[in-house]
Chain A
Amino acid sequence: MLLTAPWSFALLLGPVIGALLAFGAVAAQDATNVITIDNFTFSPKELTVAVGTTIKWVNHDDIPHTVVEKQTTFRSRLLDTDDAYSYTFTSAGAFDYFCGLHPHMVGQIIAK
């Protein structure tokens, strides 16, 4: 019963300019080892790599994010816009992670 009444939102009037995303240059890097954070999304969301691979997360949003593994196997510092975090997967396994500030953002790394 608590969820049936309608919400009212304030009307957003006037032209809205979508946020412009600045994409960092990835040409010089091995693209398969980089996960970008854009629009509150980890891309690619799922990634399989060989044990021993280093993965680098780069934040392109205008909002800070963090990378936190579910079992706290790894946890990044706070990543503001254009900050990066790297982690080397020295053991095999499936690693589910999320953003500590916005936990609806999730991703998974499989190291084998």
Chain B
Amino acid sequence: MAKKGIGDHGQGIGRREVLECMVWAGTGVLWTVSGGVPHSVGLIGDALAAEPAGFTFLQMSDSHIGFDKAANPDALGTLREAVAKVKAMPVKPAFIIHTGDITHLSKPAEFDNADKVFGETGVQIHYVPGEHDIIDEERGKAYLERYGKGSKGAGWYSYDDHGIHFIGLVNVVDLKGGGLGNLGAEQLAWLEADLKDKSASTPIVVFAHIPLQVIYKEWGWGTDDGTQALTLLKRFGSVTVLNGHIHQLAQKVEGNMTFHTALSTAFPQPAPGSAPSPGPMLVPADKLRTLLGLSTVTVAQGNKPLAIIDKTLAG
């Protein structure tokens, strides 16, 4: 795997909006890396002024409440910082989508603490579980008891808002040895039925914890039967896929589909293949908040793609 070096920007992520291309090939997939300013990193879709038209929702992810190791001894504290940013937004988001790993060990106190802090946003939150949310003794019951109302199976569901059809999928259950994420036949059948009567002009937002497309197989960053879900979505004019799990930004636009993974509010993870494993990445304390954050997703009037702006906790 060949890799070009990244120049030292001197001031790090902080001062200029810079687009760097770092292209390398791995398993036949090319991707690019871009850097940006602390307030908006990786802008895709239409550039927007500070006061967006249309409605806005947030994507937050991987809060890992209960995590207390070196990479960030205070995951609840950094979540509070993220929530403070939500409360300070001039335009209140319509709701928040959380793409999973709310807690670190599925403990009741962790769910309680997460609920308390997220509650301070004053905004409704739509959750999907991460693999860290279903490791209670009853393997998922704790999550469903809190967030499973109106959902099917391990917690999948859909809802409509502002003319957009939102679909929450669960791809962290019934994982097979040597495999990646898994949606399963029952959920795929439900998805097919859910989409059946929707016209192709209905904008769709799909969210799930693990990336639905394979980003890095060696680290489990993908979903074995994700392609089946994407095939069902292919006929729609606007599809946005929101994922978490990898604790870093990754984005791609492919025809009518926009893929976006969010930052964690707890700890960063290394870029694919740049470390021995995808575990928590320890960085200097003054850099941590440049690698944690949340995303605003704005739906403009008309048939434009959704605009996603990523904000870090730094500044």
Contacts and interface: CB of A to CB of B under 8 A. Distances in A.
A56 to B, nearest CB: 20
Interface string A78-110: 101100000000000000111011111010000
Interface string B197-212: 0000000000000000
Interface stretch (A9-17, A24-32, A44-52): A9-17
A54 interface: no
B291 A12 contact: yes
A22 B277 CA distance: 15
Given A8-B33, A11-B35, A39-B277, A103 B252 contact: no
> How many interface residues does chain A have, given as a range?
35 or more
Contacts of A104: 178-180, 217-220
B100 to A, nearest CB: 12
Interface string A48-86: 000000000000011110101010000000101100000
Contacts of A70: 177
Contacts, number: 166
A81 B41 CA distance: 33
Residue among A6, A41, A61, A80 having the largest count of chain B Cβ atoms under 10 Å: A6
Interface in B266-295: 268, 270-272, 274-284, 287, 290-291
22 contacts: A7-B29, A7-B31, A7-B250, A8-B42, A9-B31, A9-B250, A9-B271, A10-B42, A10-B250, A11-B34, A12-B271, A12-B291, A15-B284, A62-B69, A62-B70, A64-B105, A98-B176, A100-B131, A104-B180, A104-B217, A104-B218, A106-B178
Given A14-B287, A63-B279, A97-B177, 12 more contacts: A2-B227, A3-B29, A3-B213, A6-B252, A9-B34, A12-B274, A13-B6, A40-B279, A64-B104, A103-B180, A104-B180, A104-B217
Interface of B: 6, 8-9, 12-13, 20, 22-23, 29-36, 41-42, 44, 69-71, 104-106, 131-132, 135, 175-180, 213-215, 217-220, 227, 230-231, 234, 248-254, 257, 259, 263, 268, 270-272, 274-284, 287, 290-291, 310
